[in-house]
Amino acid sequence: MSEEVKYTEDNIRSLDWKEHIRMRPGMYIGKLGDGSAADDGIYILLKEVLDNSIDEFVMGNGRRIIVKLKEGVVTVRDYGRGIPLGKVVDVVSKMNTGGKYDSKAFKKSVGLNGVGTKAVNALSTKFLVESYRDGEMKRAVFSAGELLEESKLEKTDKENGTFVEFVPDNTVFKNYKYKFPYIEKLLWNYCYLNRGLTIMFNSNRFHSKNGLLDLLENNMDAEPLYPIIHLEGDDIEVAFTHSKSYGEDYSSFVNGQHTTQGGTHLSAFREAFAKVIKDFFGKNYEAVDIRQSVVAAVAVKVIEPVFESQTKTKLGSLEIEPGGKSMRAFVMDFLKEKLDNFLHRNPEVADAIEKKIKQSEKERKELSGIRKLARERAKKANLHNKKLRDCRVHYTDSKNERREETTLFITEGDSASGSITKSRDVNTQAVFSLRGKPLNSYGLTKKIVYQNEEFNLIQAALDIEVDLDNLRYNNIVIATDADVDGMHIRLLLMTFFLQFFPDLVKKGHLYILQTPLFRVRNKKETIYCYSDEERRAAIQKLGRNPEITRFKGLGEISPDEFANFIGDDMRLEPVMIGRDASVESILEFYMGKNTPDRQTFIIDNLKVEEDLQEVLSEDE
């Protein structure tokens, strides 16, 4: 019999605030990550600090914020009222302490739980806060939540406001690296939602005059089918149009917070938008046809919002304020009045919308028979060809704590998929095996998705035929060899997703798996290197004549070794679309007809590859 485990007073332990945050960081900032995803912890730390500065602006205090990031050190300076000097230490180190419990002071605040900056403090090797108020200042310095220094009140000539400096703890956020596009998108969203606010980030200026109208104009990949409709009311703002892209593309916000997973406000908008359009035309159009290719942004302000997690990515509030009108009725009433009036005053826009609806309806009906056959083929292929090695947890399983970890690896060839399959975490990691090179889908219609076996099976594996909300894996990872053929397959797969499911890319679900190019080892240590620079450093570290192996393909890496590359230290490179680049222009350049510009690009990059090969051969 096993030894009985005793349960006594000695088993009862009380953790102080910083111990609990460091032991259970996921409860406070969501996933940790290494910076390759927009919702990784290092960005949440920045957001928690910025939220306080934004709340000051909303309350009419301070019209500018200065953010700097250099060599891993993050600083945020606002020009609000500053933290009350006698409470500077408490505000950043005592749980459930803050000014936002007073609903009179912060009626529609972003942060309501008194946790934000405490989490930043506890998860940083250095956390410094200074507050300036009416000619006086107070400073406090912490490390991992431990108070190291607290100044007395000092005289200052600095403007009122708060200054925060922090360095994320690299024992918590391993191998992390900030990616500027994620930070820039965060800052732009703050400006779109807070017109008149100016944010400076490493000398770059962020400012918006027209709110959500600017958001759509700056983020759309191509010209809209009709001028963007921009409607505003008390505590609500929406902007929308239709595009030539497939799917539905939404950005939603609550009290200035980007709700990346939507929530009750977005559901209410999607329902209300379809109903108002249907009622205006007096025709029983399907909601799926009305919303096909819509691009929209929705922002609401809610008193005491209820979110489904501490990171506030999905709104759960059923009412616009406690005891008030339901979210559904609030959004419906707004669109019934504003959108209906707009369409009556702008018949040319109404005509463009109806034309788009009819086009979507026609395409949907033409594809209905093909879809049925495609689903049957996909079901049969999954059963008999075993192209998909599934996992146990899926992204759509909202009750499972590991849903954010779910990953589908798309691999080339049996050897690579075999290695990943044998070394993966069967709970959260699935594998899809490609057969040969996919078709170049640039410029083709969605009909090809159902007629091409590989595309049809990928779509079925992800379950994104009807709605991206059904996506079964949070991360879609392209895992190909780092040779010419592998790079070509990457391009073809990215073209497929950008052409037919651009929202999946824009929402940060698509990645490239980074696998090591070299293994450098001696009898005591093995180092995997992802670049020539890392290889040189490894040789220097291990000393004389270490064994150097160059991996030429994923199939050459044994399952035991592969486990090192798809576990906690997995390196993923996100597929990102720059703010100044459109999907259409990117696809045209890389996948369209050959042009002199592309020939020059290829020749220049081939020269880099030749130079690298020359260096490698010299070392060997």
pLDDT score, position 320: 84
Domain count for the chain? 3
Residue 602: is its pLDDT beyond 60?
no
Across the chain, mean pLDDT equals 84
CA distances from 177 to 3, 36, 356, 414 (A): 46, 8, 43, 33
Residues 246-269, mean pLDDT to the nearest whole number: 88
Q: What is the dihedral of CA 106, 111, 114, 118, to 10 degrees?
A: -130
Cα torsion angle, 367, 369, 370, 371, sign = positive
Choose between 320 and 217: higher pLDDT: 217
Looking at residue 121, its amino acid is N
Provide the 3-class DSSP secondary structure of residue 77: strand
Q: CATH number for the domain including 105?
A: 3.30.565.10
Residue 42: is its pLDDT beyond 70?
yes
Provide the 3-class DSSP secondary structure of residue 582: coil
Residue 242 within any structural domain of the chain:
yes
CA-to-CA distance for 448 and 239, rounded, in angstroms?
A: 32
Residue 450: is its pLDDT beyond 50?
yes
CA distances from 494 to 84, 87, 576 (A): 51, 51, 11
pLDDT score, position 582: 59
The answer on 346 and 238 residing in a single domain is yes
Cα torsion angle, 343, 345, 351, 353, sign = negative
> Which residue, 80, 49, 44, is CA-closest to 64?
80
Residue 510 within any structural domain of the chain:
yes
The confidence band for 555, taking pLDDT boundaries of 50, 70 and 90, is confident
- pLDDT tens track for 560-571: 888 888 887 788
CA distances from 3 to 6, 7, 10, 298 (A): 9, 13, 18, 59
The answer on 505 and 449 residing in a single domain is yes
CA angle 428-430-431, nearest 5°? 155
Residue ending a domain, choose from 153, 188, 207: 207
120: its two tokens: 């930043």
The answer on 429 and 337 residing in a single domain is no
Which regions of 495-541 does DSSP assign to beta strands (E)? 510-514, 518-521, 526-529
Residues 320-348, mean pLDDT to the nearest whole number: 92
The confidence band for 554, taking pLDDT boundaries of 50, 70 and 90, is confident
Q: How far is CA 467 from the centre of its chain?
A: 18
pLDDT score, position 611: 45
pLDDT score, position 19: 82
Residue 2 within any structural domain of the chain:
no
67: its two tokens: 């953010």
Residue 315: is its pLDDT beyond 60?
yes
pLDDT score, position 27: 81
Residue 142: is its pLDDT beyond 90?
yes
Question: Most confidently modeled of 114-118, 274-278, 389-393?
Answer: 274-278
The answer on 433 and 350 residing in a single domain is no
Residue 311: is its pLDDT beyond 60?
yes
The answer on 50 and 199 residing in a single domain is yes
Q: Which domain holds residue 235?
A: 212-363
Residue 236 within any structural domain of the chain:
yes
Confirm if 512 and 412 have CB atoms less than 8 A apart: no
Residue 253 within any structural domain of the chain:
yes
- pLDDT tens track for 196-230: 999 999 989 999 999 999 999 988 877 899 999 99
Choose between 110 and 4: higher pLDDT: 4
pLDDT score, position 126: 96
Give the side-chain half-sphere CA count within 13 A for 542: 21
Q: How far is CA 430 from the centre of its chain?
A: 21
The answer on 565 and 448 residing in a single domain is yes
Residues 478-496, mean pLDDT to the nearest whole number: 85
Residue 108 within any structural domain of the chain:
yes
Residues 46-57, mean pLDDT to the nearest whole number: 91
Residue 525 within any structural domain of the chain:
no
Q: What are phi and psi of 119, to 5 degrees?
A: -65, -40
Count of beta carbons in the 10 Å neighbourhood of residue 615: 12
Cα torsion angle, 443, 38, 70, 34, sign = negative
With a pLDDT cut of 70, the percent of the chain lying above it is: 85
pLDDT score, position 521: 92
Residues 361-384, mean pLDDT to the nearest whole number: 75
The answer on 253 and 194 residing in a single domain is no
- pLDDT tens track for 80-108: 999 999 999 999 988 755 555 454 445 56
pLDDT score, position 21: 85
Confirm if 45 and 120 have CB atoms less than 8 A apart: yes
Give Cβ neighbours of residue 415 (< 8 Å, ≥ 6 apart).
553, 554, 555
Residue 535 within any structural domain of the chain:
no
Residue 615: is its pLDDT beyond 70?
no
The answer on 424 and 341 residing in a single domain is no
DSSP conformation class of 257:
E
pLDDT score, position 619: 47
Residue 268: is its pLDDT beyond 60?
yes
Residue ending a domain, choose from 170, 185, 207: 207
> Which residue, 505, 526, 522, 478, is CA-closest to 587?
505
Q: CATH number for the domain including 332?
A: 3.30.230.10
- pLDDT tens track for 151-179: 999 999 999 999 999 999 999 998 899 99
pLDDT score, position 404: 84
> Which residue, 110, 111, 147, 103, is CA-closest to 126?
147
pLDDT score, position 506: 84
pTM of the prediction? 0.79
Burial 525-555 (b: 16+ CB within 10 A, else e): ebbbbeeeebbeebbeebeeebebeebebbb
Residues 436-440, mean pLDDT to the nearest whole number: 84
The answer on 55 and 158 residing in a single domain is yes
Q: CATH number for the domain including 558?
A: 3.40.50.670
The answer on 407 and 356 residing in a single domain is no
> Which residue, 190, 192, 188, 220, is CA-closest to 204?
188
The answer on 217 and 196 residing in a single domain is no
Which region holds residue 303: left if phi is over 0, alpha if psi is between -120 and 50, else beta? beta
pLDDT score, position 137: 95
pLDDT score, position 106: 52
CA-to-CA distance for 612 and 606, rounded, in angstroms?
A: 10
The answer on 195 and 235 residing in a single domain is no
pLDDT score, position 8: 63
Give the side-chain half-sphere CA count within 13 A for 585: 11
